[in-house]
Chains A and B, each alone.
Chain A
Amino acid sequence: MPKNVQIATLQNVAQSVTIPVIELKTRVIQYIRQEYTAGEWNPDNTYNWVPGAFYDFTPRRADSVIFYTMRLPVGRAGSSAHAIGNWYFYANNIIYYRWEDSMDHYENGNVWQFQVPSWGTSLGRIGLQHRAHSNEGNEMRMYSTEYWNGSGSRQNCFGQLIIEEIAL
């Protein structure tokens, strides 16, 4: 058995598919999936890691990119209709992005996606931190709805994190 085959293309026996080997270079080399089903998370007015939305990840390569996808539904809660949340996206202690989202009666099934360069092959945390504008006021809560089926009932929502490390 050869350890390595040097070849320009691969082809099936029926010759219906031809794959240039150079096109296999960009590939997913590590895959993580994490699902969050623990229900509503109540933030306060200090930054904390959002449960289910971070992962302690060790890249396989130093020259790859890390593609982060997080479904993180939110619903307004607290004493004010106007929800205000402050967010950080970290990768290995670096703040890559920060933003604020805010709206009266805010609810959504947010999906956040980011791509960052690998930080090397050591362990690092990647994910979201959040704080509310004020504790129990002007607040959104993760993994929850505000209304449901035309009434004020709160529903637990399912969160999902996928991390794909891509060699370029």
Chain B
Amino acid sequence: MSTLITDTLSFDPGREPIPLTELGYRVVKEARATYDGGQWNPDTNYNWVPGMFNDYTPLLANSRIRMTCMIPYARNSGAAHCISHWIFYANGVEIGRHGVSGSHHEDQRVYVWDVASWGTASGRIGYQMRAYANDNHEVRPYTTQYWDGGGSAQTCRGQYVIQEYLPGV
């Protein structure tokens, strides 16, 4: 009654059947958030980037968790050369690190991290970041430096999407 057993499914006799073995890859849980809190000013300690972490409880222990982080940032204050250091964590484990640096650097980036589920307990997933120096050589998320040909800082949104999935194929 509760299990359909078949090799393929068809929705139209004139169309190619869909093998069930090709339906193994599927998203089993999703979380997302939009950050509207405006410019974030980091310091020289690692802190969670607001809007770029989630206390997430995986649905399954054998899944993968893909976090897509969409984050604008800009050079700010002190020096034209901005430098920042970023670490991505999942459930207390460092998954990887990278810099964001450049002269007069402003951008909107998409970062994708794909990690194994840590089980079905709550764990924090997301970015920590620090500046090279406090209020100097600094990258600030969620802002611009110049806008419309002038020096105005504009507030930018950020967003992340977490998709927990089973590769299954």
Contacts and interface: CB of A to CB of B under 8 A. Distances in A.
Interface of A: 1-8, 10, 12-13, 20-22, 24-25, 27-31, 33, 69, 71, 73, 75-76, 81, 103-109, 111, 113, 145-150, 155, 157-158, 160, 162, 164, 167
24 contacts: A3-B6, A5-B6, A6-B13, A8-B11, A10-B4, A10-B9, A22-B12, A27-B22, A31-B167, A71-B96, A73-B98, A73-B99, A103-B103, A104-B103, A107-B98, A109-B99, A109-B100, A113-B112, A145-B98, A146-B99, A157-B98, A158-B95, A158-B97, A164-B25
Interface in B56-111: 81, 83, 85-86, 95-103, 105, 107, 109-111
A19 B107 CA distance: 40
- What are the nearest 9 A-B pairs in CB distance? A109-B98, A107-B99, A158-B96, A107-B101, A104-B103, A28-B25, A73-B98, A21-B11, A145-B99
B22 A29 contact: yes
Contacts of B23: 24, 27
Contacts of B169: 28-31
Contacts of A71: 96, 111-113
Given A8-B11, A30-B169, A162-B114, A105 B103 contact: yes
Q: Is the interface of B mostly helix, strand, loop or mixed?
A: strand
Nearest to A164: B25
Nearest to A37: B96
B114 A6 contact: no
A160 B105 CA distance: 25
Contact of A4 (B17, B86, B113): B17
Contacts of B8: 3-5
Contacts, number: 148
A100 to B, nearest CB: 15
B130 A149 contact: yes
Interface residues on B, range: 35 or more
Nearest to A148: B85
B7 interface: yes
A155 B86 CA distance: 11
B6 A1 contact: yes
B87 to A, nearest CB: 10
Interface string B16-30: 011000110100000
B85 A149 contact: yes
A146 B81 CA distance: 13
A81 B17 CA distance: 57
Contact of A108 (B44, B85, B98, B103): B98
A18 B103 CA distance: 53
